[in-house]
A and B are shown apart, each in its own frame.
Chain A
């Protein structure tokens, strides 16, 4: 699914508003029971639904943007799969708020800025500006949401072998004959 295919629907927006308070959930309120009960086994069904996965990808692309042409594109790596696998491996009570958080990011320009636009419809500069709004928000919960997504993005992207040459990291020694560097 591409960004352009992410359709805004009235039903989707209402569902977002009624999504039991994503920010409150982030603040460690009990996880939505349905999601926790439906959590798949590690290695099973993906954690993120296709629509959530696309929003996540757009977020991660901005979080780890290097500006370098030689940098591996997020979509060309297993970054999102790595994040998905991580989320499946964690206790569901920890990860249950994430899908709702992504929807909140998607509708964030409308909810927090009063702009009739979705995150996925913004250009790169617009997405950066919107994420900066999360990062600098006066709402601690919104900042916590930003940090959760940023840390997942960093873990996902910088765990990919093909990103390491960008920063001079030589990678694990296991399987090598002797220490490098």
Chain B
């Protein structure tokens, strides 16, 4: 049973073998595998438990329910919007279902440059197989490619660029298109309908609305987790204390380092909260004569990988991805206000969005803010990353014109740029993609508690266990040693699966080990 901590009448003290913090792509997998392996598991999730009955397909209702800061979380300078889930199931409830394994060259990079020889494709194969089966990952069918993605594919092929139909985690999809607002049909195989119920069925005690405030360690090993019921009005409710010899921290690449820093744990390296990668993305809007209604159907299925070659350069590159939204979210990505803004809103049904998603070298940081709800994210694009984003914008324009767009809006904040077929696109490259000049968004914050072999340069070891605190594991996107360069759902889940099986194999000795 999933219980809301808001229903607690009084403070609650629990003993468990494992306490999992978070229920997204990392936490849900860890909780389910550990519970299925016979461990007594408590899960603490800061967000609420919403189900398909709650997913109304309305932005005003779903954004505050499913997203941190109602989808308006930003870096401290206000230049980058960071979308993260806040609910049982985490970001998997609102993601768009792309499923990619960790690229082999990225694993190679992690092995060679980060002291992680264990992370070979072969070693990860069992975890990949388990999570792909668990999430029912399969290729998109041709009849599932919607009008937006068909357009983008048409443009890609016309230009002779490389692209592919991706794998997805869907079962019985009705192609409504509201994936980003939660699936009203339970067709998206998010953690909410896969691993969370499995953890529940295996006996895990799952608390929603349980905001973890700190982790306590003693004598070099983890001891307790301190949480409070997160009341609807933001006031702290009853306390919830979980004493466990193993804690799996899976709160995401923002909240995980925030909690470690607040708890003053595992940071002798100084790396907790450092090295933030965002996979920053910028988008353009192509206007077509015919209505596209891009919001209908599976939002993202086609994937343009022409501009990323990880074998040649595992450190950088970018992909192009179709993007759609509903009126309010779309509006926030368009420039200006009033009538100038409405000019673009009016073309909503005729608009195809295309974004550049950067495999970033730039690094930022996460620090605790005034409250747990407001961590401080800092991130500045390096000049080479800025150049790549700008190059990506040019390629987006080319692709949309090849697909038949009559004009393309590059939504610069000060003076939006409209280009038409035949225009000199070097103007786009010259205006660039500097932060603050164009809306930048991120849905993949990562790398803030890096995995590595050297405790002086990393926070956790190859199994996700903190170098300095025995029994404290991290299982979310924080552990990526570098930018992943691909959608992260499967990598996150597979690494969490691997961590969970490591804990099971080392039990009960692990529960007694000191750092």
Contact = CB atoms under 8 A, between A and B. Distances in A.
B151 to A, nearest CB: 15
A105 interface: no
Interface residues of B, number: 53
Nearest to A43: B232
Interface string A49-93: 000000000000011111110000000000000100110111111
Given A63-B337, A158-B327, A181-B296, A167 B76 contact: no
Contacts of B295: 169
Interface string B330-346: 01100011110110011
A62 B374 CA distance: 29
A172 interface: yes
Interface stretch (A1-9, A10-18, A113-121, A147-155): A147-155
Contact of A86 (B60, B293, B296, B370): B60
Contacts of B64: 86, 89-90
B18 to A, nearest CB: 28
Contact of A41 (B60, B233, B341, B436): B233
B376 A28 contact: yes
Contacts of A135: 336-337, 413
Contacts of B369: 28
Nearest to B349: A168
Contacts of A156: 60
Given A91-B234, A155-B63, A155-B328, A86 B342 contact: no
B370 A28 contact: yes
A28 B327 contact: no
B51 interface: no
Contacts of A166: 345-346
Interface string B69-92: 110101011100000000000000
19 contacts: A28-B76, A28-B369, A36-B234, A41-B232, A65-B338, A66-B342, A67-B339, A92-B233, A140-B77, A140-B78, A155-B59, A158-B59, A166-B345, A169-B326, A169-B348, A170-B293, A173-B176, A179-B296, A181-B293
Interface of B: 56-60, 63-64, 69-70, 72, 74, 76-78, 174-176, 178, 184, 232-235, 291, 293, 295-296, 326-328, 331-332, 336-339, 341-342, 345-350, 369-371, 373-374, 376, 413-414, 436
